[in-house]
Amino acid sequence: MKLAQILRGLSRAPKWVPTGDQVLKLVEVVPRRFRAAIWLGAGEGLRLGEVLGMEAGSRCADYEHGELHVVQQLRHSPEHFGGFYLSPPKSGSTGTVDLDAVVAEELTAHLNEVGAAEFELPDITTGERLTRPVAVLFTSARGKLLTDTYWSELWADWRQAAGWPKEGTFHSLRHFFATTLMSNGVEPQEVQKALRHANLRITLETYVHWLPKKDRPRGLVGNLLRQADSKSPERATGQDQD
């Protein structure tokens, strides 16, 4: 990796990444109606907008085949759409990823205990605007869609209750997901696919510090060459090749 890439990695690197215990502490303090949202962040690496854009049905989650379809995010723009609307995920990161079994259980429990709320929303995920009914998974206690401002207010209370630092944002859950994969030996290319990064460079620049470190044994190359030399037919017969 070139020096410029390493320096970019220093700037991309997460300011803070929670431990597994810290994630579970957050799960404990978050109200039941939002608990599955935390699992989608920590267990699938979804961004906040992608989580809030999750809807009931096979469009987003295929439980039978164990797949999660990240095809949309919830956004809010009174100027352009009169309020909430669905758009493609950030940077064209639409994709299908594995649906973790624990996350699937949490989503099922959420649907059974909290349920979804239906709204008529503009949808521009196909490139054309249409309005359709959307069974949104996560709403406020009053059944309203969540703006970034309102979510930030909720998050500040949960973060403090869980003992997280100010640097601990919802995106920290995505960092937890990525660094857990990386530090447990998952190939960087597979981490890239799970995060739906546009290219491997972004993944490596962000999480290079979590790649498993392996010391190079002393004399590794020389020993391998010596072993190959000893197995050479010419060496075995004592003859030189013309």
In tens, the pLDDT along 178-215 reads 999 999 999 999 999 999 999 999 999 999 999 988 76
pTM over 0.75: yes
CA distances to 59, 91, 95, 97, 101 from 67, rounded to whole Å, are 10, 21, 10, 6, 10
- pLDDT tier at 241 (50, 70, 90 boundaries)? very low
Whole-number pLDDT of residue 242: 46
What's the rounded mean pLDDT across residues 24-40? 98
H and E: helices and strands count for the chain:
12, 7
pLDDT tens per residue, range 102-143? 999 999 999 999 999 999 999 999 999 999 999 999 999 999
Using a 10 angstrom Cβ sphere, with 0-12 exposed, 13-18 middle and 19 or more buried, the burial of residue 41 is buried
Domains and CATH numbers, the chain: 3-210 (1.10.443.10)
The alpha helices in 13-147, defined as continuous H runs, are 20-29, 32-44, 48-52, 78-81, 101-113
What's the pLDDT score for residue 224?
77
